[in-house]
Amino acid sequence: MERTFLMIKPDGVQRGLIGEIVGRFERKGFTLIASKLMTVSKEKAEAHYAEHHGRPYYDDLMSFITSGPVFAMVWQGDQVIALSRQMMGKTNTLEAAPGTIRGEFAVHTNRNIIHGSDSPENAVREINIFFEPEELLDYSKTIQKWI
Q: Is residue 42 a contact residue for ligand GTP (CB under 6 A)?
A: no
Q: What is the DSSP string of 89-128?
A: --SSTTTSPTTSHHHHH-SBTTB-SEEE--SHHHHHHHHH
Out of 48, 53, 108, 115, which one is annotated catalytic? 115
| CA nearest neighbour of 84 among 48, 123, 111 | 123
* R_g (Cα) of the chain, nearest Å: 15
Q: Is 125 annotated among the ligand-binding residues?
A: no
Q: Measured from the CB of residue 75, what is the shortest distance to ligand GTP in angstroms?
A: 14
Q: Which of residues 58-117 bind ligand GTP (CB under 6 A)?
A: 61, 91, 109-110, 112, 115-116
55 is in an annotated binding site: no
For ligand GTP, the closer of residues 33 and 88 by Cβ is 88
Minimum CB separation of residue 105 from ligand GTP in Å reads 13
Strand order in the sheet with 114-116: 31-38, 70-76, 3-8, 114-116
- Whether 24 has a binding-site annotation, put simply, is no
Catalytic positions: 115
* Annotated binding residues for ATP: 9, 57, 85, 91, 102, 112
Residues that bind ligand GTP (CB under 6 A): 52, 57, 61, 91, 109-110, 112, 115-116, 118
